[in-house]
């Protein structure tokens, strides 16, 4: 999981579709498989299958860096993005073994979960 800089809700329509394609393309370059992924407006969840010969930090850094450059080239003039300002520093990673189905289900239901929490914050 990783987020746009300052947790801004910047991942909308065309950019979400474009990032989905870019992430799959980048993953294939490194022999990584995206088992499940979901792009929210303010964060990205991915369940990846990474070969043991590759470091997780290298793969995440590669995907964040190259995707930021691709977005800057495609949307830079429209939304004032540069390759250096799309993603925030850092990410969250957890290994998955027997709980893979639970993680996939969690990623799949992100839209509903996020809408539920936003509604709770509006009810006060």
So which residues are the catalytic ones? 106
**DSSP structure class, residue 4:** B
How far, in Å, CA of 32 to CA of 25, rounded? 10
The token pair that represents 70 in the structure block: 């691709």
Count Cβ atoms below 10 Å from residue 5 Cβ, excluding itself. 14
Give every CB contact of residue 57 below 8 A, 6+ residues apart in sequence.
Answer: none
């Amino acid at each position: 999981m990783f987020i746009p800089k300052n947790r801004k809700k910047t991942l909308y329509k065309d950019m979400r579709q474009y990032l989905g394609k870019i992430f799959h393309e980048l993953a294939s370059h490194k022999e990584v498989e995206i088992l499940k992924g979901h792009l929210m407006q303010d964060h990205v969840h991915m369940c990846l299958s990474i070969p043991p010969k590759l470091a997780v930090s290298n793969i995440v850094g590669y995907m964040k860096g190259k995707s930021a450059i691709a977005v800057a080239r495609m949307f830079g003039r429209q939304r004032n993005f540069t390759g250096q300002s799309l993603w925030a520093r850092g990410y969250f990673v957890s290994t998955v073994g027997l709980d893979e189905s639970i993680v996939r289900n969690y990623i799949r239901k992100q839209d509903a979960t996020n809408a539920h929490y936003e509604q709770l914050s509006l009810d006060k």
